[in-house]
């Protein structure tokens, strides 16, 4: 199990939170169990999901279909055939407003718990919490972490957050999800202008204190856009497969990154990108 980040200095920036303590215990589990079950998603060989919350019937159905689509797409592109159905199910608690989301967090953990208003995943408790009232992307992002973690438990933090962020800003098509340019382009360009953007070497060597530390915005942005760059060239799936096929040492991660990414060409590509915020339907 990975070591939780001490202190809360950057917790508000994070969408993936790792908490200490035994799984499925105490007040947290009792509060989760109090949320009505909206759907159970059980696909052969895949992570089982119990969707909970107090959503209306129509929205609940939409979220179930969205979760099923995310599971199918992540499995098709990034997971192995390893059977995950024997694992305890993941509870996915969804909330239609920030107020309801915050009330749950206060009661399930503790009042004033310093966490993002969007969502988080707690691997030790197998718990996804997502504010779908703010954005459906929060469900896509956090569920991606749960699915990846069950199949690829040693996934590097930068890759985990990069893939989660891709699904967070995506549109569903008949062929799967299409990843979009999003607001993190601003973070990337600011870091680049300030000469604070990590290099591929930094990314390969990065750990939790880097990805979730004072330069988290730069690490999140670089991770996401390196992966988006590869996706646009049809190389993302192959990159992930090759990366996870061997030891995840810093040296090997760097070698695989350099094999797939020309850093100068990547930076030139980012300068041509445009981000236009999408209006909520």
Same domain, 135 and 70: yes
Q: Which of 153, 172, 205 is the last residue of a domain?
A: 153
Q: Is residue 278 part of a domain?
A: no
pLDDT digits (tens, 9 = 90+) for 249-275: 999 999 999 999 999 999 999 999 999
Same domain, 142 and 190: no
Q: Which pLDDT value is given to residue 22?
A: 40
Which helix (H) or strand (E) segment holds residue 145: the answer is helix 137-151
Q: Which pLDDT value is given to residue 115?
A: 84
Of 249, 221, 225, 247, the closest CA to residue 236 belongs to 225
Q: Is residue 134 part of a domain?
A: yes
Question: Which residues, in sequence order, are bridge partners of residue 177?
Answer: 172
127-131 vs 90-95, strand pairing mode: parallel
Q: Which pLDDT value is given to residue 13?
A: 40
Q: Which pLDDT value is given to residue 280?
A: 57
Rounded to 5 degrees, φ, ψ at 78 are -130, -10
What residue numbers bound the domain in which 54 lies?
Answer: 11-153
Q: Which pLDDT value is given to residue 6?
A: 34
Same domain, 191 and 248: yes
Cα(127)–Cα(92) distance, integer angstroms:
6
Rounded to 5 degrees, φ, ψ at 108 are -80, -30
Q: Is residue 279 part of a domain?
A: no
Q: Is residue 4 part of a domain?
A: no
Q: Which pLDDT value is given to residue 110?
A: 79
Do 163 and 227 meet the contact criterion of CB atoms below 8 Å apart? Answer: yes
Q: Which residue has the tokens 């209006």?
A: 279
Residues 6+ apart with CB under 8 A from 212: 5, 10, 13, 14, 16, 157
Q: Which of 113, 130, 153 is the last residue of a domain?
A: 153
Of 105, 245, 106, 78, the closest CA to residue 162 belongs to 78
pLDDT digits (tens, 9 = 90+) for 87-104: 999 999 999 999 999 999
Do 100 and 54 meet the contact criterion of CB atoms below 8 Å apart? Answer: yes
Which helix (H) or strand (E) segment holds residue 241: the answer is helix 236-244
Q: Is residue 35 part of a domain?
A: yes
Q: How many domains does the chain have?
A: 2
Q: Is residue 159 part of a domain?
A: no
Q: Is residue 112 part of a domain?
A: yes
Of 101, 103, 143, the closest CA to residue 123 belongs to 143
Q: Which residue has the tokens 């919490």?
A: 129
Q: Is residue 177 part of a domain?
A: no
Q: Which pLDDT value is given to residue 9?
A: 35
Q: Which pLDDT value is given to residue 16?
A: 41
Q: Which pLDDT value is given to residue 221?
A: 98
Same domain, 248 and 196: yes
Weakly modelled stretches of the chain, pLDDT under 50 = 1-24, 281
CATH number of 44's domain: 3.40.30
């Amino acid at each position: 199990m990975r070591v939780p980040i001490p202190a809360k200095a950057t917790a508000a920036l994070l969408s993936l939170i790792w908490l200490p303590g035994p799984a499925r215990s105490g007040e947290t589990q009792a509060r989760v169990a109090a949320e009505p079950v909206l759907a159970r998603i059980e696909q052969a060989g895949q992570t089982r999901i119990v969707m909970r919350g107090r959503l209306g019937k129509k929205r609940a159905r939409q979220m179930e279909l969205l979760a099923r689509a995310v599971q199918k797409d992540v499995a098709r592109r990034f997971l192995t055939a390893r059977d995950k159905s024997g694992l305890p199910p993941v509870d996915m608690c969804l909330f239609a407003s920030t107020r309801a989301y915050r009330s749950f967090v206060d009661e399930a953990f503790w009042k004033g718990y310093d966490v993002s208003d969007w969502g988080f995943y707690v691997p030790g408790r197998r718990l996804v919490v997502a504010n779908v009232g703010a954005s459906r992307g929060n469900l896509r992002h956090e569920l991606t972490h749960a699915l990846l973690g069950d199949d690829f438990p040693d996934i590097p933090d930068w890759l985990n957050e990069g893939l989660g962020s891709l699904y967070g800003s995506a549109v569903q098509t008949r062929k799967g999800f299409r990843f979009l340019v999003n607001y993190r382009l601003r973070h990337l360009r600011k870091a680049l202008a300030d000469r604070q953007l990590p290099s591929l070497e930094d990314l390969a060597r990065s750990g939790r204190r880097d990805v979730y530390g004072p330069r988290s915005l730069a690490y999140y942005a670089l991770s996401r856009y390196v992966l988006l760059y590869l996706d646009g060239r049809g190389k993302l799936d192959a990159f992930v497969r090759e990366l996870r096929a061997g030891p995840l040492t810093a040296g090997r991660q760097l070698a695989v990154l350099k094999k797939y990414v020309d850093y100068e060409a990547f930076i030139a590509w980012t300068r041509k990108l445009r981000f236009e915020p999408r209006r909520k339907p």
